[in-house]
Amino acid sequence: MRVTREQEAQIIAALQAAPLDRIRLMKTIFLAWHRGGRREGPFHFQPYMYGPCAFDLYDALADMEQRGLVVQAPHPVNRWGDYYLTEAGKQAATAIPSDVSLAMEPIARWASTQGFRPLLDAVYREAPEFASKSILRAQEAAR
Amino acid sequence: MTLIIAIPAENGVVFASDSQVTTGAVRATGTKIYRLNDHAVWGASGEVALIQRFAEQLGLFPNRTQPLETIRDDLAARVKQAAVSCLAVDFRTQFFQNNPDALLGLHPGDFLFAECRDAPRILHILTNGTSEWVEGRFAATGNGELFAHALLQKYASRSLSMDQAKLLAYKVIEEAIEVVSFGLGPPIHVWEVTGGKTRQISSAEESALADSARILREEEVGLLRRLNVQREGSTVPAELPAGNA
């Protein structure tokens, strides 16, 4: 599936602010969408086992990686590494609308410093309906 | 070298495998799970030549769409036939004519089938032609099998949703790939075997499973750490008095 320009812009804007692994990238883009009033967006979020998940984000990342806009750093566990913008990705970043960058930058910087639990706790506080299938929420309920 | 896992769930079976194919010192990526019909899949560990011969036999089998219960013995016969045909062309066979176990060891193989019609079913077939139903628990085959049993044992008698079973299958294979010295490798393939909707999950779904498994792994470590903090902060002595052990 070919990534749309809107999808590409959001991913590039987030990674321009900070290299992110897939989980932090997913939550960054979700929070930007949520805080922006949940208008019709390029990604389609649904509750999943680790909170809000847009399956189309994975396809978009794969497409951008194939086209040389982003690269995933090596990691001992397959696909746990952070994504970085390549030179081509940085070039593409110059054409990103400023409102997209402004919305994404503070969230991406914050997310890059968070452990998974604090990150997910923050997401669930803001959007509890996306925790309905969460592994962590299930653990909380079981206590 | 392989790890294939079948985990029964509330409304089906999750069937998952690593995808490394090892030939001598060379590794490649390949498919290890195959559709039998709309209700069932199969996979095997062992020698590639044997598995290929079985797949060829299966392609000629007209009743492959029938329930496993109906075709169990036919499938077992085809596994045995594949083993026999491998032995027929192997020059080593002549040296082991009086030792059937050694003969079977020349072309090892272990076959798992999963089906969901009215209920989830798992069938295990050996190259000697015998078969067994795996009732109410998971099954695993391949050189990573022991890791799967160790990691899954605590869930053996628990009822799992399809999502939970997929997550567990993914996580177990991922952890086995990290630990096993050779023969296992990514990507991890996951199939949902449900009544009439048997399918391999998409690469995006597989990525989401990988991220969920990562959260679960982090949370396992975090849980232990939090227990430690609670212990340090509690009034219970860290070590029990002598005689209370």
- Average pLDDT (B208-231) is 86
Which of A20, A29, A46, A116 is the mutation pick for testing B, counting most B CBs within 10 A?
A116
Contact A120 B215 (CB under 8 A): yes
Q: Do A136 and B219 touch (CB under 8 A)?
A: yes
* pLDDT > 90? residue B209: yes
Pairing of strands B12-17, B20-23: unpaired
DSSP code, position B74: H
Domain count, chain B: 1
Buried b vs exposed e over B105-123: b needs ≥16 C-beta within 10 Å? ebbebbbbbbbbeeebbbb
How confident is the model over B44-61, as a mean pLDDT?
94
Total domains, chain A: 1
pTM value is 0.88
Residues in chain B with CB shorter than 8 Å from the CB of A78 are 174, 177, 186-187, 210
How far is A35 from A29, CA to CA, in rounded Å?
10
Q: How large is the average pLDDT for residues B96-106? A: 92
Distance from CA of A74 to the nearest CA of B (A): 14
Instruction: Note whether B93 and B103 are within 8 A (CB).
Output: yes
A116 residue type, one letter: F
Q: Give the span between the Cα atoms of B14 and B3, in whole angstroms.
A: 14
Per residue in B140-190, pLDDT (tens digit) is 999 889 999 999 998 887 889 999 999 999 999 999 998 877 778 889 999
Q: How many CB atoms lie within 10 A of CB A87?
A: 9
Spatial distance between the Cα atoms of B27 and A142, rounded to a whole number of angstroms: 43
Contacts for B169 with CB less than 8 Å, ≥ 6 apart:
B5, B7, B14, B15, B16, B190
Per-residue pLDDT at A140: 53
Domain-located, residue B243 = no
For residues B238 and A127, give the distance between their C-alpha atoms in angstroms, rounded to a whole number: 40
pLDDT of residue A1: 65
Q: Is residue B114 part of a domain?
A: yes
Instruction: Express each pLDDT in B15-29 by its tens digit.
Output: 999 998 888 888 888
| Shortest CA distance from A133: residue in chain B | B163
Share of chain A above pLDDT 90, in %: 80
Q: Which pLDDT value is given to residue B233?
A: 61
Range of the domain at B22: 3-202
The whole-angstrom distance between B165's CA and the closest CA on chain A is: 12
CA angle B195, B197, B199 (to 5 degrees): 125
Q: Which helix (H) or strand (E) holds B121?
A: strand B120-126
pLDDT at B241: 45
Q: Above 80 in pLDDT, residue A139? A: no
CATH number for the domain spanning B148: value is 3.60.20.10
Residue A12, domain CATH: 1.10.10
Is position B220 within any domain? Answer: no
Average pLDDT over residues A72-100: 92
Say what the pLDDT of residue B53 is.
96
* pLDDT more than 90, % of chain B: 70
User: In the structure, what pLDDT confidence band is assigned to residue B130 with cuts at 50, 70 and 90?
Assistant: very high
The whole-number pLDDT of residue A40 equals 87
Query: Which pLDDT score, from 0 to 100, does residue A111 have?
Result: 97
Interface ipTM: 0.89
> What's the rounded Cα separation, in Å, for the pair B23 and B27?
6
